[in-house]
């Protein structure tokens, strides 16, 4: 299991995410009522800060909760709970 810190250097964050499966707590989810999502991260396109000042990673993921579809998701770094 890999751990990340909110202020993790960008290169390190990308390295830890790519190829990993993450459990993510979504603030709003139309797929799961509890908001807990599972993604397999294929690539990280961008790491930055939202207009609200939250750090995010724009990732190409295989969405385990939606039959493994490859889609882009903006993941708040604070919402990433587990990296395997």
**47, HSE (Cβ side, Cα atoms, 13 Å):** 17
pTM score of the predicted model: 0.86
pLDDT score recorded for residue 18: 96
Domain count for the chain, please give it.
1
Degrees (nearest 5) of the Cα angle 72, 74, 80? 115
CA–CA dist 24, 55 (Å, integer): 14
Is residue 17 a part of any domain in this protein? yes
Neighbours of 37 (CB within 10 A): 22
Residue range(s) defining the domain that contains residue 51: 10-83
Q: What percent of the chain has pLDDT over 70?
A: 89
Query: The domain spanning residue 49 has which CATH number?
Result: 2.30.30
pLDDT of residue 74: 93
Across the chain, what does the average pLDDT equal? 89
Q: How many CB atoms lie within 10 A of CB 64?
A: 15
């Amino acid at each position: 299991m890999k751990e990340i810190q909110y202020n993790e250097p960008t290169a390190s964050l990308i390295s830890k995410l790519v190829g990993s499966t993450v459990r993510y707590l979504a603030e709003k989810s139309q797929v799961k009522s509890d908001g807990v999502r599972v993604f397999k991260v294929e690539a990280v396109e961008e790491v930055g800060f939202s207009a609200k000042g939250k750090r995010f990673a724009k990732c190409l993921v295989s969405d385990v909760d939606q039959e493994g579809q490859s889609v882009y998701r903006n993941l708040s770094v604070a919402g990433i709970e587990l990296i395997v």
